[in-house]
Amino acid sequence: MPIPLSIAAIGNLPPSVTPPCYDLTQRRVGIVHLGLGGFHRAHMARYTHALMQQDPAALAWAIAGAGLLPADQRMAESLGPQEGLYTLIERGGDRETVAVIGSIARVIYAGESGAALLDAIAEPDVRIVSLTVTENGYCLNPATRQFDPDHPLIRADLAAPETPRSAIGIIVESYRRRMAAQRPPFTALSCDNIQHNGNVLRAAVLTLAKLRDAALAAWIEANAPFPNTMVDRITPVTAPDDIAHLEQTYGIADRWPVVCEDFTQWVIEDRFVAGRPAWENVGAQFVPDVTPYEMMKLRLLNGSHLAIAALGRLVGYTYIHETMQDDLLRRLMAALMDRETGPTLPPVPGIDLAEYKRTLIARFANPAIRDTVERVNTDAPLNVLVVPIMARLEMNGSVDLLALSLAGWIRRVRGVDEQGQAIDVRHPLAALLREKAEQGGPDPAPVLSITSLFGTLGQDERLVVPLRHWLGSLYDAGTQQTLALAAVELKF
């Protein structure tokens, strides 16, 4: 009979599962995390757990994880009865390691009311508020990449500022409470896949604060740090088969385990206001400036991921590792990194970029991860293609491979594949994208006219000409023949 996870059950785990070796009853919340999902549990919570395994003082940095959306109720209902415990399965090739992670001491569901979350952040022991809420959670204008005061969530928060619903509103109100109580601020730590994520968070928080109270904005600006970070670990959505595998192979009944690759990276700017965990002792890297590392990851990993996921879905693949078994897609990815996205990068201290690119291909090819192309198509922001296109054009460089990748993205958002089967396009502008894609067909102009996504790129013939060529080929010849044609024309 599988063992349901709980603190009392830790002593009954099989020897093949690594348990927490610290006293779980001594955990004290020092971090509140907004956006309790699989990535956080595979990454930041994993680093914090590893530190607790070797240093009892780290128990003061336990995490209260909060879900902000109605869909997050399932997470609270899964982890709550397990006292925050969950199983992490790390896979590399044909090898996997299994551990029970204990760094999450409390789970809060804030999808209907943020009161308990605000109270948790107000606790004096909380010194860090971290986030993985995806780019959409920052309430940005898609065109300007700036905070949007007219976003529906922000308008609602301004109407009822002491009962906010957005992540930005929660942070601003939490800072207001700290200021009113004459308590020190906390560090706001973004772990989202956004370039200059700390700067983006800071700008959003300050803009909303100024709309509420100039004195509050000034207090935040003077006292609260927003370090930039770069995070990296491929973490697919947990599948029912993963839960069944855990029960059958390890005898553990976990309502929501996490599966991830065995690679992980975390680069953090060392700017914290009231101390921080010694994450460097368990593999994190603290640096003065995270910019080159985040650019490397966004352009090489995320840009490549979206390129092969969009085209791979059109071919008919389900998993990312299947795209790497396709010789044409594998060669496209290598050429894209070597010839277009890679040359836009500044030097990255301590990183061998050639080795990093080889590692990316190996990571994507890992069949044990079973990361789906649709997970990548849904989660990866379009900017991981748009920004390097803009950078290449500023360099007067070619964008042929990026145009092919973008053509795949545009063809996919039409919502129907080459066999006439529906594609579930999840995007804030999904309905508009489909309308424009249907209107244009092989002509990208209608989709490019969505300036909130593409700015003025639709007027730049250096992109439009190759994009029209490849999009037309995807419609006329299909994806496989287009890739074969591109391999000849573009010599990859």
Q: Are residues 271 and 324 located together in one domain of the fold?
A: no
What's the CATH number where 9 sits? Answer: 3.40.50.720
In the listed set 287, 302, 334, which residue is the last one of a domain according to the structure? Answer: 287
Q: Are residues 32 and 140 located together in one domain of the fold?
A: yes
Structural domain span for residue 398: 291-489
Count of domains for the chain: 2
At residue 479, the pLDDT reads 97
In the listed set 287, 321, 350, which residue is the last one of a domain according to the structure? Answer: 287
Walk along the chain (492 residues) and give the pLDDT tens digit of each residue: 899 999 999 999 999 999 999 999 999 999 999 999 999 999 999 999 999 999 999 999 999 999 999 989 999 999 999 999 999 999 987 889 999 999 999 999 999 999 999 999 999 999 999 999 988 899 998 767 789 999 999 999 999 999 999 999 999 999 999 999 999 999 999 999 888 999 999 999 999 999 999 999 999 999 999 999 999 999 999 999 999 999 999 999 999 999 999 999 999 999 999 999 999 999 999 999 999 999 999 999 999 999 999 999 999 999 999 999 999 999 999 999 999 999 999 999 989 999 999 999 999 999 999 999 999 999 888 999 999 999 999 999 999 999 999 999 999 999 999 989 999 999 989 999 999 999 999 999 999 999 989 999 999 999 999 999 999 999 999 999 999 999 999 999
At residue 106, the pLDDT reads 97
Residue 287: in which H helix or E strand, if any? strand 285-287
Q: Are residues 324 and 216 located together in one domain of the fold?
A: no
Q: Which two tokens stand for residue 124?
A: 């004096």
Q: Are residues 56 and 196 located together in one domain of the fold?
A: yes
At residue 442, the pLDDT reads 97
Q: Are residues 296 and 234 located together in one domain of the fold?
A: no
In the listed set 287, 312, 335, which residue is the last one of a domain according to the structure? Answer: 287
| C-beta neighbour count of 111 within 10 angstroms | 17
At residue 301, the pLDDT reads 96
Q: Are residues 136 and 240 located together in one domain of the fold?
A: yes
Q: Are residues 185 and 309 located together in one domain of the fold?
A: no
Q: Are residues 254 and 227 located together in one domain of the fold?
A: yes
Residue recorded with tokens 């992109």: 463
Q: How far is CA 267 from CA 63, 132, 321, in A?
A: 20, 15, 26
Q: Which two tokens stand for residue 471?
A: 């999009």
Sign of the CA dihedral with 20 first, then 25, 26, and 28 last: positive
Amino acid at 155: R
Given a contact cutoff of 8 angstroms between Cβ atoms, the answer to whether 374 and 312 are in contact is: no
Angle between helices 479-489 and 327-336 (to 10 degrees): 50
At residue 428, the pLDDT reads 84
Q: Are residues 359 and 436 located together in one domain of the fold?
A: yes
Q: Are residues 177 and 318 located together in one domain of the fold?
A: no
At residue 144, the pLDDT reads 75
Q: Are residues 133 and 278 located together in one domain of the fold?
A: yes
Q: How far is CA 205 from CA 164, 220, 239, in A?
A: 13, 9, 35
At residue 365, the pLDDT reads 96
What's the CATH number where 429 sits? Answer: 1.10.1040.10
Quote the Cα angle for 89-235-201, to 5°.
Answer: 130
Q: Are residues 332 and 268 located together in one domain of the fold?
A: no
Give the neighbor-by-neighbor strand order of the sheet with 265-269.
Answer: 229-232, 265-269, 285-287
Q: How far is CA 71 from CA 112, 160, 440, in A?
A: 11, 23, 34
